[in-house]
Amino acid sequence: MATDLLAELTAGAVADARERQESTPLAAVEAAALEAAPALDARAALAVPTVSVIAEVKRASPSRGSLAAIPDPAELAALYEQGGAAVVSVLTEQRRFKGSLDDLRAVKQRVSIPVLRKDFLVEPYQLFEARAAGADVVLLIVASLEQRALVELHELATQLGMTALVEAHSADEVSRAVDAGATVVGVNARDLTTFELDAGLFGRLAPGIPDGVVKVAESAVSTEADVAAYRAAGADAVLVGEALVTDGDPVSTLQRFLAV
């Protein structure tokens, strides 16, 4: 199990979820999840011949602090869709990333492409509330989960019609993701225990991801050259946050990235 910052973030996310559960019990969230409109097929959106982009609504991060105010996340998401993003990722973690489920709901109502709930998800309640809020995709971080829990949450996501983006940071975690049934595997260049970057990590781990599994390179994407390097290393998609929320023209940036 990972420690340090990842453990802190995960514990905070769980505490916040349990607080929400006191006012909205599991049964109510489960019912809302089952009544929600069917989830969109995010895997299909990402598995296209050219590189895809998961564009992130991200106000802040533990490594950089505040990035952008983003008073209207739905408007930003609409620009992402206009620019050609395949999926919109919405940070819903509130303590260090300044996000919320309300951001996710607003984005889902505005765009017609799949929406990812990006958070530290380790309990079934969090997956049910993600689906109830409209999420088509959920992030599962291998380092935060014992293997049995990873398998169970992946199965629950699938049962709810969602795609799981299963995130790995080592060869062993890639193997665990694949063993859990992941059809979309992300490799995050940012070590979530220390938040240090290793842009070469995807290239080293990608060969261990089987053909047919969508490969997503996460973090360390700020230029077309970064996208090209990830693409050359086998990435089907890149996840981009900071470069889009800070440059002032996300549509043009996305179009440049997608032209790689």
**pLDDT tens digits for range 4-15:** 889 999 999 999
Q: What is d(CA 149, CA 208) in angstroms, rounded to the nearest whole number?
A: 22
Q: What is the mean pLDDT of residues 188-209?
A: 90
In angstroms, the CA 85 to CA 55 distance is 6
Q: What is the pLDDT of residue 191?
A: 83
pLDDT in tens, 51-89: 999 999 999 988 888 999 999 999 999 999 999 999 999
What is the structure's pLDDT at 3? 47
- pLDDT, position 181: 98
Q: Is the dihedral of CA 209, 214, 215, 216 positive or negative?
A: negative
Whether the pLDDT of residue 161 is over 90: the answer is yes
What's the pLDDT at 62?
A: 86
73-83 and 250-258 helices, crossing angle to 10°: 30
Secondary structure class of 86 (helix, strand, coil): coil
Nearest to 78 by CA among 46, 107, 116, 42: 107
Confidence of residue 227 (pLDDT cuts 50, 70, 90): very high
Model confidence at 29: pLDDT above 70? yes
- 46: tokens are 């990402």
Given pLDDT bands bounded at 50, 70 and 90, which one contains residue 1?
A: very low
**Token couple for 57:** 């609504």
pLDDT for the residue 2: 41
Q: Check the CA dihedral 112-114-117-122 and report its sign.
A: positive
Percent of the chain with pLDDT over 70: 99
pLDDT confidence tier of residue 143, bands split at 50, 70 and 90: very high
CA-based radius of gyration for the chain: 17
Give the pLDDT score at 63. Answer: 81
- Which residues, 6 or more positions from 191, have their beta carbon under 8 angstroms from its beta carbon? 169, 197, 198
From CA 209, how far away is CA 243, in angstroms rounded? 26
Q: What average pLDDT does the chain have? A: 95
What pLDDT, in 10s, does the model give residues 85-107?
999 999 999 999 999 999 999 99
Report the alpha-carbon distance of residue 195 to residue 105 in Å, rounded.
28
pLDDT, tens digit, 9 for 90 and up, residues 165-178: 999 999 999 999 99
Which stretches does DSSP call E strand in the chain?
52-57, 60-61, 65-66, 87-91, 115-118, 137-141, 163-168, 184-188, 214-218, 237-240
